Chains A and B, each alone.
Chain A
């Protein structure tokens, strides 16, 4: 059974309206029929029927229930035609009946079972690279070609990956359920990681012509909002929502007229999205209270300090360094150490930062990470060590993958050349 490439994609602008319904509908149908492929096909079909009928007949009073009824009828038709599928579903149904399934009736409000779907799509038994793809496909309602574009891989490659992942869900019987309270601490970070990885790919594309992929970042924010609605008491979900809002608030100022990246010190802060900053800032204390802080909450707090500052000089660098210290104990990584060193350089001067960066020189992860030599170059420049700075910018240029990043580094190199 192939991945259904919905013919609805031809009217993708209208389909965007259905994305919210798509995930909800799909989740309810997976719960009912226990078969992701079947659920996807009838979800797409129901949306197609709605696209044809609603403009003529008007939008029904309960659009979600209408779509559900239509999809369910289609699924039953399909099961009548396809005996093997019916047998499989019957077996799954027996299993599902053991657990109390939410009853979906024609005109009741749809139960929200998207949380189950999040945990299925982000299941650790699936290959890491497939989890984000599946989440975009099933929960964001992106078509397979759209998901392929999101990850800059050919559509056929993505279709194969999604088919493979769905096959594993079906044949290894990865359950469709929310982990119990005892498992949640172990499983939730995986779900958040998937959503955050979609956001970071949108925030700073790892390759390709564009620095930012705003649609992808917005999709990730939408998914985080859904998670936050479904798990309001989970502080790391709140922290992640705060983080993505506070970072996304700077989107307009992050690129120049030519699409080149504009670093924090040169950004026009009047172009930051105030409403988004306010929303994110208000979430930070919620994320950080009532228990030990989590890495997303701490990162959100750092982002809030940047967003609240009038400029680089009036940024609360001592507090940012302190937060990086906390982050380094919660989720130690060379990248965190790199960012901490940059903050120390702002607090204590470039030499202090450079000393810390030099201590990281043996980190294998940083050797291939262009922000590392770029950060060294910046500090060397500020110390007046121009030829060393040039060599470091050149190293960064050799490592940078995205064209806008390379453009910025070339500009930095040239400015040193004439200095």
Chain B
């Protein structure tokens, strides 16, 4: 079963405990475990742009995400594991779950079944 792990980082952490090496080590673990489907880390939040189209078809382009939040989406993984408990274990091991960050785990819908 595929799960999306959305990695939300806290914006107010000045001295993160997790190093780039931690992230690289985690990435290697996910790939070595054979559960990696896909994953990317996102470019800085200042590069984000939001598009909305209203009922009249008028396009509105604005800077940044919808609202000021304490957490920003920093990246994601899609992993393929047997059940939610296993997915939660992998989420807990992800450096993004520390330093005030959080991982949202969501199953990916499977319309074939």
Contact = CB atoms under 8 A, between A and B. Distances in A.
Interface string B1-43: 1000000000000000000000000000000000000000000
Given A95-B82, A173-B107, A87 B113 contact: yes
B113 A175 contact: no
Interface of A: 84, 87-88, 91, 95, 98, 123, 125, 171-175, 177, 179
A172 B82 contact: no
Nearest to A176: B83
Given A87-B113, A88-B113, A173 B83 contact: yes
Interface string B69-97: 00000000000001111001000000000
Given A87-B113, A88-B113, A91-B113, A175 B85 contact: yes
12 contacts: A91-B113, A125-B84, A171-B109, A172-B84, A172-B106, A173-B83, A174-B84, A175-B82, A175-B83, A175-B84, A175-B85, A177-B85
Contacts of A177: 85
Contacts of B83: 95, 173-175
Contacts of A84: 113
Given A95-B82, A125-B84, A125-B88, A173 B1 contact: yes
A363 to B, nearest CB: 26
A175 B107 CA distance: 13
A179 B88 CA distance: 13
Contacts of B113: 84, 87-88, 91
Contacts of A91: 113
The CB with the most chain B CB atoms within 10 A, among A123, A173, A177, A179, is that of A173
Contacts of A172: 84, 106-107
A44 B91 CA distance: 38
Contacts of A98: 82
A91 B113 CA distance: 8
A119 to B, nearest CB: 10
A172 B85 CA distance: 10
Nearest to A92: B113
Interface of B: 1, 82-85, 88, 106-107, 109, 113
B19 to A, nearest CB: 26
In the A-B complex, the 6 residue pairs with the smallest Cβ-Cβ separation, listed nearest first, are: A175-B83, A173-B83, A172-B107, A174-B84, A172-B84, A175-B85
Nearest to A174: B84
A396 B113 CA distance: 56
A208 to B, nearest CB: 35
Given A95-B82, A172-B107, A175-B83, 17 more contacts: A84-B113, A87-B113, A88-B113, A91-B113, A98-B82, A123-B84, A125-B84, A125-B88, A172-B106, A173-B84, A173-B107, A174-B83, A174-B84, A175-B84, A175-B85, A177-B85, A179-B85
Contacts of B84: 123, 125, 172-175
Nearest to B106: A172
A352 B113 CA distance: 66
A175 B1 CA distance: 12
Contacts of A174: 83-85
A175 B84 CA distance: 7
B6 to A, nearest CB: 14
Contacts of A95: 82-83
Nearest to B81: A173
Contacts of B1: 173
A173 B107 CA distance: 8
A35 to B, nearest CB: 12
B5 to A, nearest CB: 13
A179 B83 CA distance: 13
Nearest to B89: A183
Contact of A171 (B82, B85, B88, B107): B107
Nearest to A173: B83
Nearest to A90: B113
Contacts of A125: 84, 88
Nearest to B112: A87
A123 B87 CA distance: 14
A136 to B, nearest CB: 22
Nearest to A88: B113
Contacts of B88: 125
Nearest to A119: B85
Contacts of A123: 84
Contacts of B109: 171
Nearest to B113: A88
A198 B33 CA distance: 41
The CB with the most chain A CB atoms within 10 A, among B82, B85, B88, B109, is that of B85
Nearest to A95: B82
Contacts of A88: 113
A191 to B, nearest CB: 14
A177 B83 CA distance: 11
